[in-house]
Amino acid sequence: MALAVLGGPPPLVHRMLLVLLLGAGLDAAARAAPPPAPVPQTGQAVCYGTTGTAVVSCSGTGQDGETRTGAAWPDPRFAQNGDRTILDKLTGLVWTQDANPAGGPKTWQEALDYIKTLNGGNHLGRSDWRLPNVIELESLVNKQSNLAEWLQAQGFRNLQVDSYWASTTYASLVTCAWSVDISGGIVAGHDKEDAFFFWPVRLGEAGAVSVPQTGQITCYDRSGTAVACAGTGQDGEAQAGATWPSPRFVENADGTMSDRLTGLAWSKDGLAPGPDVCGPGVRKTLRNALQFVTCLNANSYLGKQDWRLPNRNELATLVHRGQADSAAWLNTQGFIRVRPASYWSSSAFVSNPWNGWSVNLHDGAVSTCAKPHDINVWPVRGGQ
């Protein structure tokens, strides 16, 4: 089809068609681009009863242990570098082998200052150590086994069964910062004056996946006052990780939203959407959440039959660590009805399988919830 009349400007209808075609081409290119930060597997390979703690066959459960979606881990995952550091071949991050280099807990600011001291002394021959951001620190969590014991078995030493500081401020209350509990993997905010452990990290080489940025670009002192980021060592200064595409989310013609950062596709509706027969729009127990997803597939919701309950890693990617309320932010990105509350993942809390992992899309906390509790559900697909 000709889009212009020879010897003059294209007619209005042709100009409109040209704009539509060019826009469709750009949109198609954006959708086809490989995601910069595909989500890694959680490590979970066991399934549990949805009303108890018994180990069950994974077949047909829809649990994380059955689907095992995400990028596979290298085997072995960790490599000792011979200089008292260990490379994580999954993420490309290099960690000190000693997981407690200061010999004890520190406040958040003390941990940031201690990292500067390490760099000033060229610790282990390097001067680019930093406090990991919350996504980097959380990447060490294996959702299958006792975390501390597993990390010790990978060659790390002096691991403390306690919380470790991240360089990321807790945006919902900026006098707090994020931490990861090495005893089980809970991600929570704590007052910056609390005393926890810390673990230096630096970028090594390209890993099997790229850790994404957290979204945080502002720095805060321990009193919660915004400060210039230069020289702080905070997440807002380093902004380490894969850059988010812009726009990050694009709406598809089938009622789903594609995340161009991770390659996942979510329903546009963030509150248990689907046909009436599936009981949409209400919170559910974990058992009912898994049955709900089965119902979506049986009824070809939005023309698809590969919906699933997201695992813990997938669900956590929706958190914007620079926003006080991730749900409110998501509702400005094209989604609707995202609730500022906890959502079920398909991952079990192995330390106490009576609970499952959940992510709070208000503040971003990653914690556990008893399986009989009613919380929110959001189906996902893709990222296999």
What is the tens place of the pLDDT at every residue in 256-306?
A: 999 999 999 999 999 999 999 999 999 999 999 999 999 999 999 999 999
Q: Is the pLDDT confidence value at 358 over 80? A: yes
Tell me, yes or no, whether 158 lies in a domain. yes
Tell me, yes or no, whether 176 lies in a domain. yes
**What per-residue confidence (pLDDT) applies to 52?**
86
More confident residue, 34 or 193: 193
**What per-residue confidence (pLDDT) applies to 14?**
41
Tell me, yes or no, whether 166 lies in a domain. yes
209, 202 in Cβ contact below 8 A? no
Residue ranges with strand state E in 58-185: 78-80, 85-88, 93-96, 163-169, 176-181
Nearest in space to 42 (alpha carbons), one of 359, 371, 370, 361:
359
**What per-residue confidence (pLDDT) applies to 265?**
98
What is the tens place of the pLDDT at every residue in 216-246?
A: 999 999 999 999 999 999 999 999 999 999 9
Mean pLDDT lowest for which of 126-135, 138-147, 269-278?
138-147
Report the 10 Å Cβ neighbour count for 291. 16
Percent of the chain clearing pLDDT 70 (strictly above):
91
Alpha helices in 141-234 (DSSP H): 147-153
- Measured distance CA(67)–CA(146) in Å, rounded: 21
Question: Rounded mean pLDDT of 313-340?
Answer: 98
**What per-residue confidence (pLDDT) applies to 148?**
87
Average pLDDT, whole number, for the chain?
92
Report the 10 Å Cβ neighbour count for 82. 6
Tell me, yes or no, whether 281 lies in a domain. no
Question: Rounded mean pLDDT of 42-48?
Answer: 94
Helices vs strands, H then E, count in the chain: 9, 18
What is the tens place of the pLDDT at every residue in 197-218?
A: 999 999 998 999 999 999 999 9
What is the tens place of the pLDDT at every residue in 150-184?
A: 999 999 999 999 999 999 999 999 999 999 999 88
More confident residue, 74 or 383: 74
What is the tens place of the pLDDT at every residue in 7-26?
A: 333 443 343 333 333 344 44
**What per-residue confidence (pLDDT) applies to 28?**
62
Tell me, yes or no, whether 198 lies in a domain. yes
Q: Is the pLDDT confidence value at 2 over 50? A: no
**What per-residue confidence (pLDDT) applies to 346?**
98
More confident residue, 54 or 9: 54
* pLDDT band at residue 6 using 50, 70 and 90 as cut-offs: very low
**What per-residue confidence (pLDDT) applies to 31?**
58
Q: How far is CA 66 from the centre of its chain?
A: 20
- Measured distance CA(222)–CA(225) in Å, rounded: 7
* pLDDT band at residue 339 using 50, 70 and 90 as cut-offs: very high
More confident residue, 91 or 351: 91
Tell me, yes or no, whether 32 lies in a domain. no
| pTM metric for this prediction | 0.91
Provide the domain limits for residue 159. 47-249+302-382
Total structural domains within the chain: 1
- Measured distance CA(109)–CA(59) in Å, rounded: 48
Tell me, yes or no, whether 295 lies in a domain. no
Q: Burial of 358 by CB count in 10 Å (0-12 exposed, 13-18 middle, 19+ buried)?
A: buried
Place of tokens 């208000």: 362
Tell me, yes or no, whether 21 lies in a domain. no
